[in-house]
Amino acid sequence: MILAAFAALPVAQLAPALAWYERLMGRPPDMLPNASEACWKVAEEGWIYVVEDADRAGGTLITLVVDDLDRHLSEFAERGMEVTLEERPGVWRKATARDPEGNTLSFAQPLSA
């Protein structure tokens, strides 16, 4: 049984990426375990972390499933975040943000058929 998820978003340098992720998440990191990582708790047992790792930077895809995408869209707009909205009618809606290095973080809401 899997007890928790800890997903990485690698970037070339943490310092410039940190401000972008703080704006996306709407808060500072929940944990700074060392000089090259910043972590946000996104679910009861789920975390994402931005890690300085230039060799892997820019190619990550992560989707967070949310219960109210409209609330997230409103918050992104308030913080000046650019997202693209996609929808598969009756199945899901998804807002996607791409960090300056090309990592993709999506917020998706399943829909009732």
pLDDT digits (tens, 9 = 90+) for 51-67: 999 999 999 999 999 99
- pTM of the shown model: 0.90
Which CATH number goes with the domain that contains 70? 3.10.180.10
Contact in structure between 67 and 108 (CB atoms under 8 Å): no
Q: How many domains does the chain have?
A: 1
The whole-angstrom separation of Cα 103 and Cα 88 is 23
Structural domain that includes position 41: 5-110
Q: Give me the residue label for tokens 């809401």.
A: 109
Q: What is the average pLDDT across 11-17?
A: 95
